[in-house]
Amino acid sequence: MLKNNRREVLYTKSFGVSFVAMGDPPKKYNDTSITFTIPYVNGAKSMEIRKGNKVLFSTPIPIINNGGFETGAFTGWTAGGPGDHKVDTQVPYIGKYSALIGFRDHNNVANGYDYIYQTIELPLGKESELSCYYRFYSYDYCNYDFFTMYIEDENANVLATPVNRCLGGNGLEDTGWTNVKYNLTPYAGQKIQIYFEVSNRYDTAYNSWAYVDNVTITSISQPINNGFETGNLTGWNVGGDGCYPNWVTIVNISSKPGLVRSGNYAAVGNAAWTGSYSNSLCATGW
């Protein structure tokens, strides 16, 4: 069964397993291999295999669907525009397939925008990072044709533009496979679109096209207040062999710039004591 993030069942498939056994008590006689093609179900977050009510196997479903295009089709993606936008085998980054967008095979269309995108939902309370690879080919000069990557909300409003690239017009130029990493944590809990586009602007001269492959999103749970940016110890337990009860303190960058590596605050052990005490093992001062 496939479940959404509220653990509600979205899809169930039941099947019987042929089982041959010998003896008493029965010993398993053969192994049974079962292959299923599971449909793409929008909103499915986890998959379980059960025998009756017992969960035999459970796995999360990746946030992005078919990010390597290895289904050989745009499963999970939406593609459009006047250009090629097809899953192609000529220049994969990994596997057999990559996505082709732009005007490699199609004739140029003036002000033609060829694209693919996928709508995803980012998990709440986790940090998420997008990684993808693109390879942009262009005969055209800069500010004519672009490879562009947008992060959009689910209504297609642009939230960010991680990539907007044009090339030099020195014949056919090729960026080579180029990795993009982008922090999606600000959009945790939201639906967004990962959008790739090749634009051929102004006229029908000089073709451009791009391949996209290996689009992945990694989500990790971080400790609450891991950078101490609340300015206090929210989320943390404090203990140990300190010399006095409040031996961990928070410093801010304006008073102690050398002790804050990023952001405005850091936690410092045994550092705020400015008085005197008799235990020589305790630190005194900075």
Q: Which residues contact 137 (CB under 8 A, 6 or more apart)?
A: 102, 104, 172, 173, 174, 175, 208, 209, 210
Binding region for Ca ion (CB under 5 A): 68-69, 92, 94-95, 97, 140, 145, 200, 206, 213
Nearer to Ca ion, 97 or 117 (CB): 97
Distance from C-alpha of 218 to C-alpha of 127, rounded to nearest angstrom: 8
| Least distance CB 181 / Ca ion (angstroms) | 18
- Asked if 219 and 123 count as a contact pair (C-beta separation under 8 A), the reply is yes
Nearer to Ca ion, 4 or 216 (CB): 216
| Least distance CB 135 / Ca ion (angstroms) | 12
| Least distance CB 141 / Ca ion (angstroms) | 8
- Asked if 42 and 2 count as a contact pair (C-beta separation under 8 A), the reply is no
Distance from C-alpha of 90 to C-alpha of 206, rounded to nearest angstrom: 21
| Least distance CB 170 / Ca ion (angstroms) | 14
Q: Check residue 35 and report its DSSP letter.
A: -
Nearer to Ca ion, 193 or 200 (CB): 200
Nearer to Ca ion, 119 or 199 (CB): 199
Residue whose C-alpha is closest to residue 172's, from 122, 207, 123, 120: 207
Nearer to Ca ion, 145 or 152 (CB): 145
Distance from C-alpha of 209 to C-alpha of 83, rounded to nearest angstrom: 9
Please state the separation of Cα 170 from the chain's center in Å. Answer: 34
Nearer to Ca ion, 111 or 222 (CB): 111
| Least distance CB 183 / Ca ion (angstroms) | 23
Nearer to Ca ion, 149 or 251 (CB): 149
Assigned token pair, 28? 């398993």
- Asked if 199 and 145 count as a contact pair (C-beta separation under 8 A), the reply is yes
| Least distance CB 24 / Ca ion (angstroms) | 51
Nearer to Ca ion, 120 or 266 (CB): 120
Residue whose C-alpha is closest to residue 204's, from 83, 113, 105, 111: 111
Secondary structure in 3-state letters for 155-206: CCCEEEEEEEECCCCCCCEECCCEEEEEECHHHCCCEEEEEEEEEECCCCCC
